[in-house]
């Protein structure tokens, strides 16, 4: 089975590729000629994931999937949430996003948060959604050099390290994206 992923994020593509069974061939949007930014204008993670998957499907007619991920911080009423990638700027400036988040949490004692990923799959023209959640807390400073996004300041429950300190396979075993992808794989294996 061939699936097109609606992403240009090399880190995300690598994470997901390592989780998929060998029977699934993953192709990036760029590899099928879609190089423009895909609009993410919905108010929810589910909406953005569907927008991106539909964009690919309408242009290729091929089975595809897209995800959207948000970091939802309790003390900030779920922010940055759907705006996680563009929290501080219009671009994907991970460092500026982290800086703003840490500033917004300076006077907060509750640092609980969760990462939530929603994957939208379009297969044979039918749409399916899969969700993965990992609970944890926001650290007071960056720790680790791996990963991307907010990984350096997020520690999952029952771990003593940030996502940016973990080897990719360990992170994938417990992460929001890993959990959503596991549900996607279970569904694909039933096809």
- Of residues 63, 67, 68, 151, which has the active-site annotation? 68
Residue 10 scores a pLDDT above 80: no
**pLDDT value of position 88:** 92
Alpha carbon separation from 53 to 64, 89, 119, 168 (Å, rounded): 6, 24, 9, 25
Residue 21 scores a pLDDT above 90: no
Angle (nearest 5°) at CA 108 between 104 and 110 = 120
Q: What confidence category does residue 155 fall into, taking pLDDT thresholds of 50, 70 and 90? A: very high
Q: Is the model more confident about 177 or about 18?
A: 177
Distance CA 152, CA 75 (A): 19
Which pairs count as long-range contacts for 89-97, CB under 8 Å and 24+ apart, including other chains? 94/148, 94/149, 94/150, 97/149, 97/150
Domains along the sequence of the chain with CATH:
2-189 (3.90.950.10)
Beta bridge partners of 80: 72
Summarize pLDDT for 46-65 with one digit per residue, the tens.
Answer: 999 999 999 999 999 999 99
Residue 68 known to be catalytic: yes
For residue 153, give the H/E element and its range.
none
Judge whether 156 and 178 are in contact, CB under 8 Å. Answer: no
Residue 97 scores a pLDDT above 90: yes
């Amino acid at each position: 089975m061939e699936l097109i992923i609606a992403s240009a994020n090399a880190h995300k593509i690598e994470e997901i590729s390592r989780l998929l069974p060998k029977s699934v061939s993953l192709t990036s949007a760029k590899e099928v000629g879609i190089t423009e930014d895909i609009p993410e204008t919905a108010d929810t993670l589910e909406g953005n994931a569907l927008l991106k998957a539909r964009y690919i499907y309408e242009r290729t007619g091929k089975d595809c999937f897209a995800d959207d991920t948000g970091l939802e911080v309790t003390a900030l009423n779920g922010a940055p949430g759907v705006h996680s990638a563009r929290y501080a700027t219009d671009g994907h400036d991970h460092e500026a996003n982290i800086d703003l988040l840490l500033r917004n949490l300076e006077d907060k004692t509750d640092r609980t948060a969760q990462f939530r990923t929603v994957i939208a799959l379009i297969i044979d023209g039918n749409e399916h959604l899969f969700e993965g959640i990992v609970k944890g807390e926001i650290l007071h400073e960056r720790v680790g050099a791996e990963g991307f996004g907010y990984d350096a300041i997020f520690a999952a429950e029952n771990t003593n390290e940030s996502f940016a300190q973990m080897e990719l396979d360990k992170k994938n075993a417990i992460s929001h994206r890993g959990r959503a992808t596991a549900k996607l794989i279970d569904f694909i294996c039933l096809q």
